[in-house]
Amino acid sequence: MSELHLAVALDGAGWHPAAWREPNARPADLFSAPYWVDLAQQAEAGLLDFLTIEDSFGLQSKHFATLEYRTDQVRGRLDAVLIAARVAPKTSNIGLVPTALATHTEPFHISKAIATLDYVSTGRAGVRIQVSARADENAHFGRRTIPELQFVDLSDPAVVALIDELFGEATDYVEVVRRLWDSWEDDAEIRDAATGRFIDRDKIHYIDFTSKYLSVKGPSIVPRPPQGQPLVTALAHSTVPYRFAAKSSDIVYVTPTDAGSARDIVGEVRREQQAAGRGGETVQVFGDLVVFLDTPAESGGARLRRLNDVDGAAYTSDALIFTGNAGELADLLAEWQTAGLTGFRLRPGALPDDLAGITEQLVPELQARGLFRRGYETDTLRGLLGLSRPANRYAITEGATA
């Protein structure tokens, strides 16, 4: 069995809404740089491939499309890209993948921000592309109309139309971002003081992209990033987002409930990848799980029940909720790996306790089974994931004509 890839998803005080009330939580530090640096360094100490940082343009809510007004849960967040930029100089190997909202953010802006992050981190940047169907977030911008839908019936024609629209736009969004990253060839910068030539203008390209959703001329104002193309990732739960992620991303996060559903989901993603003409490319499929790991003082299941009592409601998630010890979690990951998953993104139920459980208990368990690295082998995120540095689409190859 080959080694698996492992990432962690960071969100506030943890994924359980009552996690901020845990004894080891740091609610007073949630909006401070040292808090995020400490989490990133803990993740890096565990040799994880990368971390993701959640983001949105609305206050946190349990509901996909509506705002929840409870005041006894964490509300408010810092900008994920800026957190990653602050963390980058304090880490050396772990990949940094902030969330970006394609629905309300210009692709030129995100391409520039993630390219800059790739420079700041010396080749460890990625981005998680997300769409937003929330009317309250849309109200901050006022440039489009998003109906207030409840998403109870996913076959509702209005829901189907909105999902198609959002992911259709996101597909074009990623294409623009990728073209902008390529709009400078790798050797476009000459920097020759003697001749007074800083750039070769012939190696900087307009992208001239026009679609139903976007019209972007380019080129970027940031030279091609160190990785050529920083990592693009996306979370998907059903056919339309599977299609988007298979066409546009390097990693698809999925939410199976068991090995059988993992196998079915991987199969659907692979079929969509073939249909998109990417059959020869490497697209990683990661399984997402929320984890509550046992500690010497308390089982993960007991902690989840206690947090539910504090919150006044049973915690639910789009992903499987795991409770138990590191050995049991390693068993589950190994089983799901045989279903075709290439890695896992774990969501710590409470921070820092469950992150420590991942890095100090799960990682050694996986290492003992030969399923996880014992040291960082390369210095870029693409390298860690076994992805080559892509050629520039605009570069003229030797012997070719313009």
What are the tens digits of pLDDT across the range 121-168?
999 999 999 998 888 888 888 888 777 766 666 778 888 888 899 999
- pLDDT value of position 150: 65
Task: Reply yes or no on whether the pLDDT at 386 is more than 80.
Answer: yes
Q: What's residue 400's pLDDT? A: 45
pTM for the structure as a whole:
0.95
Q: Are 128 and 97 in contact (CB under 8 A)?
A: yes
> Tokens for 316?
């639910």
Whether 236 contacts 244, CB under 8 Å: yes
CB 207 within 8 A of CB 174: no
Task: Please provide the average confidence, as pLDDT, over all residues in the chain.
Answer: 94
Nearest to 279 by CA among 287, 271, 290: 271
Q: Which residues contact 205 (CB under 8 A, 6 or more apart)?
A: 182, 183, 184, 185, 218, 219, 394
pLDDT of the residue at 65: 64
pLDDT (mean) for 187-216: 95
- Cis peptide before 352, with omega less than 30 degrees from 0? yes
Is the separation of the CB atoms in 126 and 227 below 8 Å?
no
List, in sequence order, every residue forming a beta bridge with 347; answer none if it has no partner. 290
Q: Where are the alpha helices (DSSP H) in 92-156?
A: 107-120, 135-138
Q: What is the pLDDT of residue 64?
A: 64
Tens-place pLDDT, residues 23-51: 999 999 999 999 999 999 999 999 999 99
- Summarize pLDDT for 266-292 with one digit per residue, the tens: 999 999 999 999 999 999 999 999 999
pLDDT over 60 (residue 399): no
Q: Are 204 and 219 in contact (CB under 8 A)?
A: yes
Two structure tokens written together for 353: 């306790």
CA 54, 358, 317, 50 dihedral sign is positive
Contact 290, 305 (CB under 8 A): no
Where are the alpha helices (H) located in 60-156, listed in sequence order? 80-87, 107-120, 135-138
Phi, psi dihedrals of residue 100, rounded to the nearest 5°: -130, 135
Higher pLDDT, 66 or 236: 236
pLDDT one-digit tens code per residue, 297-356: 999 999 999 999 999 999 999 999 999 999 999 999 999 999 999 999 999 999 999 999
Name which of 63, 199, 189 is nearest 133 in CA terms.
Answer: 63
Q: Quick one: pLDDT at residue 360?
A: 98
Domains of the chain, CATH where assigned = 5-384 (3.20.20.30)
- How far is it, in rounded angstroms, from Cα 105 to Cα 171? 14
Over residues 366-395, mean pLDDT: 96
What average pLDDT does range 105-121 have in this prediction? 98
In this predicted structure, what is the pLDDT of residue 66? 67
Separation CA 6–CA 358 (nearest Å): 10
DSSP 341-382: --EEEEEESSTTHHHHHIIIIIHHHHHHTT-S-SS---SSHH
Partnered with residue 197 across adjacent β-strands are: 192
d(CA 98, CA 9): 10
What residues contact 56, with CB distance under 8 A and at least 6 apart? 77, 99, 101, 130, 132, 134, 137
Question: Looking at residues 357-365, what average pLDDT do you find?
Answer: 98
